[in-house]
Chain A
């Protein structure tokens, strides 16, 4: 069994009596990239703030690196690097001075500044005031400051927010390389499933303050049911024929939807249709995208949306 880095039990946080997070149970193992997913306002950032000790939970416990942090977060924070929402920086200082202001507080050698600057490729712009930076550069500086203390756990809240596609790609590659290259465990939150899909090994989905899914990304993918869509010359006749032979299918959208997608089954169906002289126009595999599963999981209204986008 692998070492568990983050473990929360029945975490609850209320804002003026309204629960923002209710009974969140997270469990993150060493070396994982944990994708923390949920629509805006679902409680992701609140949960992350509690992990970082910025907010105190109303009830429930947080264990970081196997220790309850109720009394003191300090020991755990030494091993955590974080970037919460918009990057924090001092606009009137240069990137190097920004990192130096943080470095003084966490006791790492000065050479580490150059290292993290080169990791996020800001070395050339290091001596310019940060107020002249693009959003992507500021975001990279944020990641650099998160990496500064050689963390064992990296907590990134929406790190690709507001970045252009190449910036997103860059940061994605960077995050993906963390566990292999540096042995860092990563917790990354996002409201975009496609983001998480390309990085995470494990996924937790939160909606309205509650965890509604917590498993590997494969398990989430398996929820995506596939079916074979057949468009044929005479749908009614074909349906009766196939139902008579014991195949499970549905009619809709001027087409037949076959549930059993195993190869030999599909071959049999097509063979049968051909033998009975029914013309086949299209045979397509249809797969519910992760996006649709996500919407289906996060709200009922999403189901309607998923249907329209599928057609």
Chain B
């Protein structure tokens, strides 16, 4: 399994995926820099707890960015194998198919964890730069940065599965991008709409979304893995 991860890490070389991992959080923070420069006074007025206000603003953009990132990373990881029909060779090596599938999933999770970490650091730096002081709420900030990933795991599992199953990446990309767009409009969507989970709506306990995300994400991952094991390789 470890060997597979190493091999997969080697394959993403020169694929610009790490750049994407950096671009996501950078973009979100950059938008907030603009936001605060334009209407600093208004924003401070709205939410006297400045760190909480910052987190709410950041969070607005994190969910769609996260969903887009999941879609693109899943598609790119699968496409490495689709491009020169490498699946047939990879799967005729003495390795388990479920490990191949898990490895792709884990690489995607690892990349997104790095993104979340960068977001976490970025949010703190932005807050400090806005003179909110160094006594930031560490735990809430950590949660704000990582919860969208955990709550979004079902979407990631789904995207990985679809990207690997369909050679034509238009299908998973369409679904993923639509999901990212609709997630911003989905405050009132029913609870089963998994694309709204990364929003971690304020009025409800965020832990519910996180727990549901991990659980449903794991189920989707298992379904995808079993399907991948059974599938004939063209």
Residues on A facing B (Cβ under 8 Å): 49, 52-56, 74-75, 77-78, 80, 82-93, 97, 100-102, 104-107, 145, 149
Contacts and interface: CB of A to CB of B under 8 A. Distances in A.
Given A101-B10, A104-B10, A88 B90 contact: yes
B83 interface: yes
A88 B94 contact: no
A84 B92 contact: yes
A87 B15 CA distance: 21
Nearest to A130: B84
Most-contacted residue by chain A among B4, B86, B88 (CB, 10 A) = B88
A49 B233 contact: yes
Given A92-B14, A97-B10, A100-B10, A86 B233 contact: no
Contact of B4 (A80, A82, A92, A105): A105
15 contacts: A49-B232, A52-B92, A54-B91, A54-B233, A55-B232, A74-B96, A80-B92, A82-B92, A83-B89, A87-B84, A93-B11, A93-B13, A104-B3, A104-B4, A105-B3
Interface string B87-109: 11111111110000000000000
A45 to B, nearest CB: 10
B94 A77 contact: yes
Q: Which 4 A-B pairs have the closest CB atoms?
A: A88-B89, A54-B233, A77-B94, A88-B86
Nearest to B232: A55
Contacts of B14: 92-93
B94 A78 contact: yes
Given A100-B10, A101-B7, A104-B7, A88 B93 contact: no
Contacts of A145: 89
Interface in B1-59: 3-4, 6-7, 10-11, 13-15
B94 A82 contact: no
A91 B79 CA distance: 12
Contacts of A101: 7, 10-11
Contacts of B87: 88
A101 B89 CA distance: 12
A88 B93 CA distance: 12
Contact of B84 (A49, A91, A105): A91
Contacts of B177: none
A66 B185 CA distance: 61
B10 A91 contact: no
A88 B87 CA distance: 8
A100 B13 CA distance: 13
Contacts of A92: 13-15
Contacts of B7: 101-102, 104-105
B85 interface: yes
B215 interface: no
B13 A97 contact: yes
A97 B80 CA distance: 14
B169 to A, nearest CB: 16
Nearest to B100: A105
Contact of A54 (B4, B88, B96): B88
